[in-house]
Structure 1
Amino acid sequence: MAFTLVSILIAAIPVAYCYPTTAFQDLVGVSKNRTSIKFLAVGDWGGLPYPPYVTDVEKATAQEMGKIAEQMGADFILALGDNFYYKGVTSVDSPRFQETYESVYTAKSLQVPWYVIAGNHDHAGNVKAQIDYSKRSNRWKFPSYYYELNFHIPNTGKTLTIIMLDTVMLCGNSDDFTDEKPRGPLNEVDANRQLTWLEERLALSKADFLLVAGHYPVWSVSEHGPTQCLLQSLYPLLNKYNATAYLCGHDHNLQYIEESGIGYVVSGAGNFLDPDVRHWNNVPKGSVKFFTGQASTMGGFVHAEVTKDKMTVTYFQAKGTSLFRTVLSHRKFE
């Protein structure tokens, strides 16, 4: 009887996986005549677990991110998972925070909020430690496993919402050294709780631009390919609730896939590069608009600017050139 009672009590304790939803906020320190929000998105940037703790690609990409943020502006950065290779961090005191993050992204223009989510390699370690690091760093913002960001686009009356997901919690971890496919969530209750929260937030959203970000791709032509779990659970919601775009990493390259009016942005070239296109025929025909994973680019990332009526997405290689640009329009409500 005592065992049953304890079990019930434990089951009743809520797990703080999602952060309480915040109201729409104004960007801090924005000039009076600004009429857009600008940000960078980079995934799979997590260095190495042994000296020198960084790769040449990470260093080159970090340097170019600093230049583009200075030239074009960046109010914040989306860190799309696999923040620390190969097994995340063990504690909030891990030297990896300094070696692979603080001492690499040193440009003044990158001293802005970094909104972080976890990837499969992070889940091989202690994700809670990465969340706790938010209390140690002025710019590392990782309030919970999944959470929502809401912004007023300055001086426009328009709004931007970004929903940050934990796709490993949704779909399970993947072993990059075997067959690389997530086999389903470790905990069905946690996965369903996140999915319920997600649909609730999407259904309520009246934002003019609605972005969703996760680590695993919905669509990808590269090594990992489309994530079947997300095609079943997330893809229908993105379409049903008229999302603007989905941003992710996981495959170590840059891709832009457009399907059913939604932009699928793969930005996973922050630390390694992979030119693999084995899943080219596993995405909808004609949907691939851009792909690069060439070692000669030395890495890459995405810059986005959201104005009152459009979102412009520009792909940059670390060698200092823009490679591709596309424009997405604001949501239309019937």
Structure 2
Amino acid sequence: MAYALLAVLSAAISVTYCYAAAFQDLGGNGRSRTSIKFLAVGDWGGLPYPPYITAVQKTTAQEMSKVAERMGADFVLALGDNFYFKGVDSVDSPRFQETFESVYTAKSLRVPWYVLAGNHDHAGNVKAQIEYSQRSDRWKFPSYYYELNFRIPNTGKTLTIIMLDTVMLCGNSDDFMDEKPRGPLNSMDANRQLVWLQERLARSKADFLLVAGHYPVWSVSEHGPTECLLQRVHPLLIKHNVTAYLCGHDHNLQYLEESGVGYVVSGAGNFLDPDVRHWNHVPKGSLKFFTGQASTLGGFVHAEVTKSKLILTFFQAKGTSLYRTVLSQREFK
């Protein structure tokens, strides 16, 4: 009896943390479509005092709306640090309105925002951000980590995006102390997520398989590579032929490629940082693109997934694309 009760409780706890989704509805007229398009932006979370947004966030939001209208965007990936500097304290926090709803107002951005938590969010109440999914028609944050599945219209191909909580996995970090993650707060939660990730990757037959988290695997900037992710996640990305890993945390735009996996850093949604102190701490030749200059006014990434390729375009907020790369669909041996 006690064992049965424990099993039920364990199952209930795991539901809180992870969420395996059925295929998402892209909406709109899909008859002539043959691709999925989305934006990826991290570290976009404004300020905890008036005016609650930064100039970078404002210009980036405006350019996101223009690119979404011109090139199309079915959804947005929000890659963490959604509310600076200590997340939100409750689902009733005015920050949801001040830093999110009243900033990304364009019709082209009134699409699903699939959200994950960053280190600043974990300084507050992440459960409140999850609960806000019930209050907003576009804020989609079903649990700490979860899986998204999409059918690429009229192609027979599929896209899967696995959304991680890298803070739960590796521990929190204090940006103002330049600290690295010191290990998970709860090792059981971290291991549960890692097992879940291993299972989802091993099971995936998606033609395009993306993994997203807040902390970078590889980065040349202030925070550099995340040792915990290099040990625990990096081998899985290679083993399971993941198409790309997307993250924020460092406040710039980067693209690296290593062992057949693309690494996207899109953390220029609110602040900019040109720091390159870890330039020599990534695999030689892996860095393909970097910008963190204040003159860009911010930035984000536009992605298009077709039946045979993933096209990534890096945009600066002042209105031009800076870099484009193409990744092929997965090959199954």
Judge same fold: TM > 0.5, yes or no: yes
Structure 1 residue ranges, 4+ long, deviating more than 3 angstroms after superposition: 8-14, 16-20
Distance in 1 separating the partners of 2:264 and 2:169: 19
Q: Which residue is 1:221 aligned to?
A: 220
CA distance in 2, matches of 1:245, 1:181: 23
Q: Which amino acid aligns with 2:166?
A: T
Give the conservation status (yes or no) of the 8 Å contact 2:19–2:143. no
Please give the TM-score of this superposition, normalised by the length of structure 2. Answer: 0.96
Letter in 1 for 2:179: E
Shift of 1:24: 2.7
Whether 1:38 and 2:33 are equivalent positions in the alignment is no
CA RMSD of aligned residues (A): 1.6
Whether 1:135 and 2:134 are equivalent positions in the alignment is: yes
- 1:43 is aligned with what amino acid? G
Q: Report the Cα offset of residue 25 of structure 1.
A: 3.6
Spell out, residue by residue over 1:177-232, the C-alpha distance to the aligned partner (whole angstroms, 9 max, x if none): 11320000000000000000000000000000000000000000000000000000
Q: Give the match for residue 282 of structure 2.
A: 283
State the shift of 1:10 in Å: 11
Distance 2:98 2:255 in 1: 31
Q: Distance in 2 between matches of 1:9 and 1:317?
A: 50
Letter in 1 for 2:143: S
For the residue of structure 2 that corresponds to 1:189, the secondary structure is helix
Match of 1:80, as an amino acid? L
CA-CA distance at 1:131 after TM superposition: 0.3
1:94 partner letter: S
Equivalence for 2:257: 258
Deviations 1:271-308 (A, max 9, x none): 00000000000000000000000000000000000000
Q: Contact 2:78 / 2:114 at 8 angstroms: preserved in 1?
A: yes
**Is contact 1:91-1:129 (8 Å) kept?**
yes
CA apart distance, 1:9 = 9.6
Give aligned-pair identity as a percent.
Answer: 80
Partners of 1:157 and 1:12 in 2: CA distance = 37
Could you tell me how far apart the structure 1 residues matched to 2:132 and 2:118 are?
A: 16
CA distance in 2, matches of 1:247, 1:57: 20
**CA distance, structure 1, for counterparts of residue 37 and residue 288 of structure 2:** 22
Distance in 2, matches of 1:154 and 1:298, equals 34
Q: What's 2:103 paired with?
A: 104
Matched, 1:241 2:236: no
Rounded to whole Å, the distance in 2 between the matches of 1:217 and 1:250 is 7
Q: Hey, what's the Cα distance between the residues in 2 that align with 1:261 and 1:197?
A: 23
- Partner residue in 1 for 2:83: 84
CA deviations over 1:140-194 (Å, ceiling 9, x no partner)? 0000000000000000000000000000000000011113200000000000000
Q: CA separation of 1:62/1:158 partners in 2, compared to 1, >3 Å: closer, same or farther?
A: same
Can you list the C-alpha shifts for 1:222-244, whole angstroms capped at 9, x where unaligned? Answer: 00000000000000000010000
Q: Is the CA contact (8 Å cut-off) linking 1:17 and 1:146 kept in structure 2?
A: no
Separation in 2, partners of 1:21, 1:117: 15
Q: Which residue of 1 aligns with 2:52?
A: 53
Does structure 1 residue 68 correspond to structure 2 residue 67? yes
- 1:24 aligned partner: 23
Alpha carbons of 1:13 and 1:28: their partners in 2 closer, same or farther (altered >3 Å)?
closer
- 2:19 touches 2:142 (CA, 8 Å); kept in 1? no
- Give unmatched runs, 5+ long, in structure 2: none
What SS is found at the alignment partner of 1:51?
Answer: coil
Corresponding pairs, count:
330
Normalised to the residue count of structure 1, the TM-score between the two structures is 0.96
CA distances 1:75-102 after superposition (whole Å, capped 9, x unpaired): 0000000000000000000000000000
Give the distance between the partners of 1:30 and 1:328, measured in 2 at CA: 26
What pairs with 1:153-192 in structure 2 (closer than 5 Å)?
Answer: 153-192=152-191
Distance 1:187 1:19, change over 3 A: closer
Classify the secondary structure of the residue corresponding to 1:58. Answer: helix
CA distance in 1 between partners of 2:28 and 2:236 (Å):
34
Letter in 2 for 1:106: T
* Alignment match, 2:231: 232
Shift of 1:27: 1.6
**1:267 and 2:266 are equivalent in the alignment:** yes
- Aligned-partner residue type, residue 201 of structure 2: L
- The alignment status of 1:319 with 2:318, answered yes or no, reads yes
1 CA distance for matches of 2:227 and 2:18? Answer: 27
In the alignment, residue 314 of structure 1 is paired with which amino acid?
T
Gaps of 5+ in 1: none
- CA deviations 1:122-143 (Å, max 9, x no partner) are 0000000000000000000000
Residue in 2 aligned with 1:126?
125
3-state SS of 1:133 partner = helix
The 3 A distance-change label for structure 1 pair 221 and 32 is same
Going from structure 1 to structure 2, the CA distance change for 1:10 and 1:86 (only over 3 Å counts) comes to farther
